[in-house]
Amino acid sequence: MSLFKQLFIAICVLMLVNFAGSFLVSVEGSREQQVNQLRAHAQDAATALGLSLSPYADDVPMMELMVSSIFDSGYFQSIRVLNAESGEVLVERNGAPVSVTAPEWFARLVDLAPASGDAIVSDGWRQAARVEVISHPLFAVGRLWQSTLGTLVWLMLSSLLCVCLGVLFLKRQLRPLEYLVEQSNAIARREFLSLPALPKTPEFRRVVSAMNQMVEKLKALFAEEASRSEKLRADAYEDSLTGLANRRYFDLQLQARLVGENASSGFLLLLRINDLAGLNQRIGGQRTDQLLKAVAEQLQQLSQGRFVLARNRGGEFALMVVGLQRDEAEQLAETLDQALSSLQQTGVTDSLPVAHIGMTAFAPGDEQATVYQAADEALARAACQNGQNWACHEISDVAQPVAAERQSWYRLLDEALTLGRVQLYAQPVVDADQPARVLHRKVLARLHDEQGILLPAGRFLPWLERFGWAARLDLSMLDQALAHLLKSQDTLALSLSGSTLRDPQALAAFYDKLRQHSQLGARLIIELDEDQLPEQDELQALAQRLRTLGFGLALQHFGGRFSMIGNLAKLGLSHIKVDGNHIRSIDQEDDKRLFIEAMQRAAHSIDLPLFAERVETEGEWQVLRSMGIAGVQGRLFGEPSSLH
Would you give the DSSP letter of residue 113? P
**Structure confidence by residue, pLDDT tens digits, 498-555:** 889 989 999 999 999 999 999 998 999 999 988 888 888 888 889 889 989 999 999 9
Please choose, from the candidates 361, 358, 357, the residue with its C-alpha nearest in 3D space to the C-alpha of residue 395. 361
Structure confidence at residue 565 as a pLDDT band (50, 70, 90): low
- pLDDT score at 533: 83
**Structure confidence by residue, pLDDT tens digits, 79-128:** 887 877 777 777 788 876 655 567 777 777 776 767 777 888 777 677 77
- CA distances for 158 relative to 155, 162, 165, angstroms: 5, 6, 10
**Residues 358, 269 contacting (CB under 8 angstroms):** yes
Please choose, from the candidates 95, 114, 119, the residue with its C-alpha nearest in 3D space to the C-alpha of residue 44. 119
**Structure confidence by residue, pLDDT tens digits, 583-609:** 888 888 887 888 888 888 877 777 788
Compute the distance between CA of residue 603 and CA of residue 610 in angstroms, rounded to an integer. 7
402-642: CATH topology is TIM Barrel (3.20.20)
35-151: CATH topology is Translation Initiation Factor IF3 (3.30.110)
pTM, two decimals, is 0.65
Structure confidence at residue 430 as a pLDDT band (50, 70, 90): very high
**Structure confidence by residue, pLDDT tens digits, 260-291:** 777 788 899 999 888 777 777 777 778 888 88
Instruction: Indicate the SS3 state at residue 275.
Output: coil
Q: β-pairing, 126-135 with 76-83? A: antiparallel
Compute the distance between CA of residue 253 and CA of residue 405 in angstroms, rounded to an integer. 25
Task: Compute and round to an integer the Cα radius of gyration of the chain.
Answer: 47
Residues of the chain above pLDDT 90, percent: 18
**Residues 459, 323 contacting (CB under 8 angstroms):** no
Domain ranges of the chain: 35-151, 238-392, 402-642
- CA distances for 460 relative to 81, 322, 410, 424, angstroms: 122, 11, 10, 14
**Structure confidence by residue, pLDDT tens digits, 180-230:** 777 777 766 666 667 677 777 777 777 778 878 877 777 777 777 777 777
- The mean pLDDT of the chain is 81
The DSSP result for 201-266, as a single string, is SHHHHHHHHHHHHHHHHHHHHHHHHHHHHHHHHHHHHB-TTT-SEEHHHHHHHHHHHHSSTT---E
CATH architecture under which domain 238-392 falls: 2-Layer Sandwich (3.30)
Q: Which of 20-24, 209-213, 417-421 has the lowest mean pLDDT?
A: 20-24
